[in-house]
Copies of this chain bind each other. A is one copy, B any other.
């Protein structure tokens, strides 16, 4: 394991220490174990609160999107492990400005179970709660079983859209509606070139040969669609587009939000080589990419690889994506 860390058991808490120290104007830690990250300014009276949560090791996902025009609080688990129920509750309380709270998170069994338990308990206390799960990874289940798909980088679009609607004064029903609209619209697929190492176990998340790529792999190393010799950037990008476009229902004159995301080690240079091909292909079809994001938005620590997310947009989604936002990792 070649990482810059101290005791592996302290990896998450020391990361949070540094993050909150660097961004104390925006973020603070809450909860008895400090595993809730919330906005420093506290809940905003009358604004719908948005909470997320999930395992660590994916920065900026999840807690990095707590900020202005984005999320209000996040429950933080260990690396690749869901947050505790008590921290989900604490995050919801921190986000609650009296107008209700939306739970907006990735579709993983453990996260779902804990957020649902937290929801039940807080509803008993009278909190108005809604839930939207993002399930955008097309490689993880066929479209007929969409509810089984995992949530990956598409949640960044859902965070942005819901956060903008909440900041604009939307009701819980309105914020939930646009979050669902974004969650339903976005589609993602990833390719992995190398694993990452889980600090506590010291083990790689999977094994792969020096000349191989795994197409469709999940962000925790979940098996993909095929594994084989590494192809060119254009061949990989074309195949990613071929997996996404048929589900996107895009035609000439349509507009689509594009996110080319590094899983960690893959540098900006390679992401832009991919984006070049995506822009060419979309242009050939008369489709306009809007507000493209190219960078590290949802990672697996130092994993090499990239994911592509497409979200067809109407005027409402496009305006919400373009609305101002400010978190430690992203400023719009």
Contact = CB atoms under 8 A, between A and B. Distances in A.
Given A267-B299, A269-B57, A304-B302, A279 B2 contact: no
Given A296-B296, A302-B265, A331-B331, A275 B22 contact: yes
What class of interface size applies to chain A in its complex with B? 35 or more
Interface in A64-89: 64
A6 B301 contact: no
Among A18, A19, A57, A275, find the residue whose CB has the most chain B CB atoms closer than 10 A: A18
Nearest to A56: B269
Copies of this chain: 2
B22 A233 contact: no
Interface string A261-287: 000111111111111110100000000
Contacts of A274: 4, 18
A120 interface: no
A306 interface: yes
B301 A14 contact: no
A228 to B, nearest CB: 14
A294 B59 CA distance: 12
Contacts of A270: 3-5, 15
Nearest to A258: B22
A140 interface: no
Interface of A: 2-6, 11, 14-19, 21-22, 56-57, 59-60, 64, 191, 193-194, 210-211, 230, 232-234, 236, 264-277, 279, 292, 294-296, 299, 301-302, 304, 306, 329, 331-332
26 contacts: A2-B194, A4-B236, A4-B270, A5-B233, A6-B234, A6-B273, A14-B276, A15-B270, A15-B272, A16-B272, A17-B276, A18-B272, A18-B277, A19-B275, A21-B276, A21-B279, A22-B272, A22-B292, A57-B267, A59-B268, A264-B265, A264-B267, A265-B302, A267-B299, A268-B299, A331-B331
